[in-house]
Amino acid sequence: MNSFGTIANTSTIRFERMCPGPAERVWDYLTRPDLLATWLADGELELRVGGYVELHFDAETVGLGHARSSPVISGVVTRCQAPDTLSFYWTDAMTISNVIFELERRGSEVLLLLTHARLPKSVLPTCSASWHAHLDILEEQLHHRPSSSFPVLYESVRLHYEQ
């Protein structure tokens, strides 16, 4: 599969990534604070509808991607069906948008679908490049490989999403 995200419309980006299974392990990387911090951000998720989401991005990622003006993203869980679906509102200083993670079992692998919707057109390219880089790091974690540098990964795809 193509690792580049697909801009579904003027406010939505969608990624598809094949990950080593089982789905429960991928789910843990999406939801457990210790594992979430290895690829996305430090934070906490209350795994229930109405639960609180708070993600604290590393200063290295601030200014490069979607968290440019605020290193903290907060939100509310809107769907939580372990280990298949997690969605929440994503709120920073600039926008309120929706993030949806869906996991589909494919034999010994898992198809991870990430949809980030309701993004302002002005942040779609940077948010897309940021997600791309974070998902690359997640794949490295799931394959037990050393993690690449977020800024290097981000810069390697930024122009693609800006075009």
pLDDT for the residue numbered 61: 57
* Residue 159, pLDDT score: 94
d(CA 33, CA 147) in angstroms, rounded, equals 17
| Among 97, 92, 87, 98, CA closest to 74 | 92
CA distance 89 to 81: 16
35-64 as b/e: b if 16+ CB within 10 A: bbeebbbebebebeeeeebebebeeebeeb
Task: Return the DSSP state at 71.
Answer: S
- pTM comes to 0.91
Contact 100, 87 (CB under 8 A): yes
CA distance 17 to 74: 25
Predicted pLDDT at 71: 79
All structural domains of the chain: 6-158 (3.30.530.20)
Backbone angles phi, psi at 3, to 5 degrees: -85, -10
As averages over each run of 10 residues, the pLDDT of the chain (163 residues) reads 78 96 97 95 95 86 48 93 96 86 97 96 91 96 93 94 90
pLDDT score recorded for residue 60: 61
9, HSE (Cβ side, Cα atoms, 13 Å):
4
